[in-house]
Amino acid sequence: MERTRWYKDAVFYQIWPRSFCDGNGDGIGDLWGVLEKLDYIASLGVTGIWFSPLYPSPNADFGYDIADYRSINPEYGDIDVFRRVLDGAHERGLKVIMDLVVNHTSSEHSWFKESRSSKDSPYHDYYIWRTGGERAGVPIPPNNWDSLFEGRAWEYEPALDEWYLHIFAKGQPDLNMDNPCVRAEVEEILRFWLDLGVDGFREDVITFTSKAEGLPDDYLMVSGARGLRFYENGPRLHEFLAQFRDNVLVHYDCMTVGEAPMITPSKALPFIEEGPNQTLDLMFHFEHMGADCLFTDYVPLPFSLRRLKAAFDRWQHKLDGRAWNALYLENHDHPRIVSRYGSEAFREKSAMMLACSYLFQKGTPFVYQGQEIGMVNTRFSTIGEVPDVSAKNQYAKRIAAGDTPEKAMELVNRAARDHARTPMQWSDEAHAGFCPADVEPWFAENPNYLEINVARDEMDPNSVLNFYRKAIRLRRALPVVREGSYRAYKRASGVLYVYAREMADERLLVLCSFADHDVRFRVPKGYGLEEGALELCNYESEGITLPMGGRVTFRPYECRVYRFGKA
């Protein structure tokens, strides 16, 4: 089948199902809730949905520990309701991609249960087992690697006198992708969902699926962990991805986007450069999030617009004409972007400005649930209020290092992934309209739902929600956004992000202020604003200033998008 690269015209909406909408009244988001909200999703102007894992899971990592790859978590529904959601999405012109998590499974998966039952089990080699050593009569791990979520990267199985590798939580044992039987299982998983009608996959930490040969000790600490540099981009990674491409993916008009911690543009190109050797269509990186992986969200670096712009520029220029970008500012793995890169004091203006900062770049944008209404971080008082295994691990590490509980909670409140996982704020009714008033949600809603919710934004033509709709509609209407080149201006500025999209007969200028005060600056040469059409602005037009002698004044977190003809 010919693959059409339809993803280049797509805008995706990410759903983290547990917190999206409770449709059956048990306090947990589910597929009945998604079915109820399909018209809302389509109203955003997006053209696709990315589902975080919907599979059965004991929730050691809330779905990223999969116990059955060919079924739906009963908390979310079943295959029949998934088919209804899939059909309903397709009827509305929405593609659907699933999360593919094959670096690891749940420890409750039948494969792992068999694997740990005996060294003679045919499933034993489905996972990475090694013998360790002994010190003073106490077993010690095979190497000195650390996990990203839960202590050391090895867990001891006394009955086998062996250790299994878990780069993430203890309940997420790593699969042994070197085993051809495991790769054959992955192929069957791909076929199952593609034959059901899904349109592609977001492939979770896919660059971790091939580890360094021999699993050597690591004496170089990277981002606070040993072993991290040996987890990713291993020697057989291209081989594995090429097998999945050649045996399965080329037979469907689907797309793949790989999550790749620690990736750079140069390291990404061998996977995503268009041509006969391409093994992934897009790649999620972490450089513009101020981190090289999830782990480093907890490194207390202040926000730097210059660093953000440098990452944007690097990926736009390095991939231009060779590969396609994946664009995002929020997902389930990071705190809310307004609280990180914008301003809660200027919540609406900064949310709109942040939308402009990435939606008009070259690539395929992803919008995370709640981002379109400017949801912000919540506040946790104790670690007992925080469900995420990663946050609990970081808290425990800080306590072990001598921090007080209050100090450790400061770090959790700054960096926890749980900020993105509070229930979606649909209305000012009880529990933000996420679930019935007489049912406790699985996770407490952000108290600010009385002011920040979909229903309120629907009533306001100048809301964050309606700004996102305008921005997405504009992006999809202008060929220059898909085809034009990217040029950055004001690179040295610590408060302005200015970039142009240019092609022969159309140009776009995007101006974004990251300042909480007025900023006066000179517009780029060749872009007289009085000659352009103002297509988008997050302030009312009456207050917009035109250049005086080439200079213009921007208000706090102001953004504008101008369209021009030929240069």
Confidence of residue 479 (pLDDT cuts 50, 70, 90): very high
Closest CA to 414 of 492, 560, 261, 301: 301
pLDDT computed for residue 546 by the predictor: 67
- HEC readout, 448-469: HHHCCCHHHHHHCCCCHHHHHH
- Whether 331 and 410 map to the same domain: the answer is yes
**Residue 97 pLDDT > 80, yes or no?**
yes
List the catalytic residue out of 30, 99, 155, 204. Answer: 204
Catalytic residue among 75, 99, 174, 259: 259
Tell me what pLDDT residue 567 has: 74
Give residue for tokens 């950055």.
488
Judged against a pLDDT cut of 70, whether residue 14 lies above it is answered with: yes
Name the residue type at position 236.
R
- Parent domain of 153: 110-165
pLDDT, mean of residues 120-134? 97
* 394: pLDDT strictly greater than 80: yes
The total number of structural domains in the chain stands at 3
CATH number for the domain including 442? 3.20.20.80
Any residues with CB less than 8 A from the CB of 231 and at least 6 apart, and which?
145, 167, 208, 211
Residues 282, 350 share a domain? yes
Amino acid letter at 361? Q
pLDDT the model gives residue 138: 94
Residue 223 confidence (pLDDT): 74
**Integer CA distances (angstroms), 445 to 85, 87, 97, 354, in order:** 25, 30, 27, 24
Same domain, 196 and 184: yes
Sheet holding 162-165, edge to edge: 129-130, 162-165, 154-157
Percent of the chain whose predicted confidence (pLDDT) is above 70: 97
- To the query of whether residue 313 is one of the catalytic residues in this protein, the response is no
| 415, HSE (Cβ side, Cα atoms, 13 Å) | 26
Give the model confidence (pLDDT) of 196-237 as tens digits.
999 999 999 999 999 999 999 998 887 778 998 999 899 999
In a domain, 474, yes or no: no
Answer yes or no: is 556 within a domain: yes
Same-domain status, 369 and 403: yes
pLDDT of res. 301:
75
Token pair listed for 1: 């089948």
Q: How far apart are CA 546 and CA 528, in angstroms?
A: 9
Classify residue 519: in a domain, yes or no: yes
Classify residue 53: in a domain, yes or no: yes
Model pLDDT, residue 518: 96
One domain for residues 366 and 327? yes
Give the confidence band of 263 by pLDDT, cuts at 50, 70, 90: very high
3-state class percentages of the chain: helix first, strand second, coil last, to nearest 5: 35, 15, 45
Q: Are 98 and 202 in contact (CB under 8 A)?
A: yes
Q: Residue 360 has which token pair?
A: 């008009």
To the nearest 10 degrees (0 to 180), the angle between helices 405-415 and 389-400 is 150
Closest CA to 163 of 131, 122, 195, 197: 131
From 240, 129, 258, select the one nearest 185 (Cα to Cα).
240
Residue 457 counted as domain residue: yes
Same domain assignment for residues 101 and 117: no
Q: Is residue 541 part of a domain?
A: yes
Asked whether residue 316 falls in the same domain as residue 399, the answer is yes
Among 126, 141, 165, where does a domain finish? 165
How many angstroms separate the Cα of 62 from the Cα of each of 14, 189, 229, 421? 15, 20, 25, 10
pLDDT at 440: 98
Beta bridge partners of 156: 163
Q: What is the pLDDT of residues 403-443, one digit of tens each?
A: 999 999 999 999 999 999 999 999 999 999 999 999 999 99
Q: What pLDDT does 294 receive? A: 54
Look up the CATH number of the domain holding residue 152: 3.90.400.10
The predicted structure's pLDDT at residue 353: 98
Euclidean distance between CA atoms 214 and 33, whole angstroms: 47
Tell me what pLDDT residue 189 has. Answer: 98
199 and 73 part of one domain? yes
- % of the chain at pLDDT higher than 90: 91
SS3 assignment, position 299: coil
Which of 142, 165, 188 is the endpoint of a domain? 165
pLDDT classification of 543: cutoffs 50, 70, 90: low
Provide the pLDDT confidence category of residue 265 given band limits of 50, 70 and 90: very high
Question: Residue 444 — pLDDT band, cuts 50, 70, 90?
Answer: very high
293 pLDDT more than 80 = no
Report whether 435 contacts 25 (CB < 8 A): yes
Residue 159 forms part of a structural domain: yes
Whether 358 and 257 share a structural domain: yes
Evaluate if residue 89 carries a pLDDT over 80: yes
CATH number, domain of 515, equals: 2.60.40.1180
pLDDT band at residue 3 using 50, 70 and 90 as cut-offs: confident
Decide: 496 and 503 in contact? Cβ < 8 Å.
Answer: no
Same domain, 140 and 75: no
One domain, residues 137 and 182: no
Q: CA–CA separation, 400 vs 116, rounded Å? A: 31
Same domain as 407, residue 364: yes
Determine the pLDDT at residue 290: 76
330 carries an active-site annotation? no
Once rounded to an integer, what is the mean pLDDT over residues 498-518?
97
User: What gap in Å lies between CA 219 and CA 275, rounded to an integer?
Assistant: 38
Confidence of residue 295 (pLDDT cuts 50, 70, 90): low
| Residue-averaged pLDDT of the chain | 95
